[in-house]
Amino acid sequence: MLGADDRPDWDDHAIASQYRLRTRFPAAVEKEAASFGEPGARERAGREDLRDQLVLTIDPEDAQDHDDALSVRDVGEGRHEVGIHIADVSHYVRDGSALEAEALERGTSTYLPSGAIPMLPSRLSSDLCSLRPDRDRLALSVFVTIDAQGRRTDVRFAETVIRSRHRLHYAQVQANGTLGAWGTTTALPQAMISHTAFASNGYLYVVGGNVGPTCVTTVRYAPINANGTIGAWTTTSALPQARCGIVSAGAVNNGYLYVAAGFNNSDITNRIYYAQINANGSLGAWQTNATNLTNSREYLYAEAAGGSLYVIGGQGGISGNVLSSVERATINANGSLGAFTAAPSLPAGRGYLGGARSGNTIYTLGGGTQSSGGTPQSSVYYAQVGD
């Protein structure tokens, strides 16, 4: 008998059989979908580049598709431009292609109790045509300008390239910014300090840090569940060399993780490591960037914004001076970085600092003025990317 209460997938099989739903893709269709790579310079050519704008998706908490996104920007005189962005499926599904023929046969994606039968292979439906955070994605966009009274004053359309910053659900958007009670979820396999952490595309990452007095190379990740808890931790590709003192020294950009400088058990370094994020949450092999920072540093703040990696402040050596310098390098399409150059310095030296980015504004918060922290500071600095 099909339809047991604890096995909704049995109902899925029964429905698929009853309505002759196509549950597998022909090999030619899978091959065609697999032939597309991440959008590069050629795919972006001629499109309006919105990757520096604050774009986000808002869906139900258990949503499986993220094919539309929103942006809002102030255009002056009390007016705002609202951008509505839809994944540009037509870029991949061309007239006369095997993908088009299969999509016509299916007509739509079918949503069932335990999952979905997509209209397109997962390479497209769950990846290239899904507006995932921190990934460049091709989109079709409509921009609506509204005045201070909410009246529409202009509409325009464009082919675009976007990079979603956040994957939000409705409850988050409707919240007032306060926090609910803190909960406890899956603990790390080891107690540790001075590591860096990332959240990207539904996974939480913990990189390097101290286990006892020793800096480690270990990197772990865990899936983030819809209710905010996390699943089991899994070990993935280790750093090329041990790193600690990197609390705020990590950044995420377009499917790559970056770790800047830090301590390696013997000295403070100026090297940058980066690794590609795989679709299943694991990481590819870490690469050592060909160009190094001008200044070695630890307890710094690193941030990716506007197509560049910024390395900000930090302690400049063992018992050394706290730095105010900021270094910037362009992020290349393959994840590597160009040469580091000087960017505008902080108003004062800061080590052991915190940082955050909102849209194109980078903030640093607090920090110390001497080696090993020194006197804690309350200052908050900010800078616009591109200024």
pLDDT one digit per residue (tens) for the chain, 387 residues: 445 555 555 677 777 778 788 888 999 999 999 999 999 999 999 999 999 888 999 887 767 678 899 999 888 888 899 999 999 999 999 999 999 999 999 988 888 777 788 899 999 998 999 998 889 999 999 999 998 888 899 999 999 999 998 888 877 777 777 878 899 999 999 999 999 998 987 899 999 999 999 999 999 999 998 788 999 999 999 999 999 999 999 999 888 999 999 999 999 999 999 999 998 899 999 999 999 999 999 999 999 988 899 999 999 876 678 999 999 999 998 999 999 999 999 999 999 999 998 878 899 999 998 876 678 999 999 998 875
Question: How far, CA to CA in Å, does 215 sit from each of 74, 129, 193, 244, 308?
Answer: 45, 40, 9, 5, 28
Tokens of 129: 């045509």
Which tokens is 356 given? 């955050």
pLDDT at 6: 54
Q: What is the pLDDT of residue 1?
A: 45
pLDDT at 326: 97
Rounded CA separation 10/2 (Å): 6
Q: How many CA atoms lie within 13 A of 13 on its CB side?
A: 8
Length of the chain: 387
Sorted by sequence, the CB contacts under 8 Å of residue 95 that are 6+ apart come out as: none
* Amino acid present at 90: S
- pLDDT at position 387: 52
Q: Which domains does the chain have, with CATH numbers?
A: 31-174 (no CATH), 196-384 (2.120.10.80)
Going 369 to 374 to 377 to 383, the CA torsion angle's sign is: positive
Q: Which residues pair with 220 in a beta bridge?
A: 206, 235
Question: Rounded to 5 degrees, what are φ and ψ at 48?
Answer: -70, 125
Q: Is residue 364 exposed (0-12), middle (13-18) or buried (19+ Cβ within 10 Å)?
A: buried
How far is residue 272 from each of residues 84, 250, 354, measured CA to CA in Å?
36, 10, 19
Reading the block at residue 124, the tokens are: 């497209």
pLDDT of residue 243: 96
Residue 312 CB partners (closer than 8 Å, separation 6+): 300, 301, 302, 303, 326, 346, 353, 355, 362, 364
Q: How far apart are CA 152 and CA 145, in angstroms?
A: 6
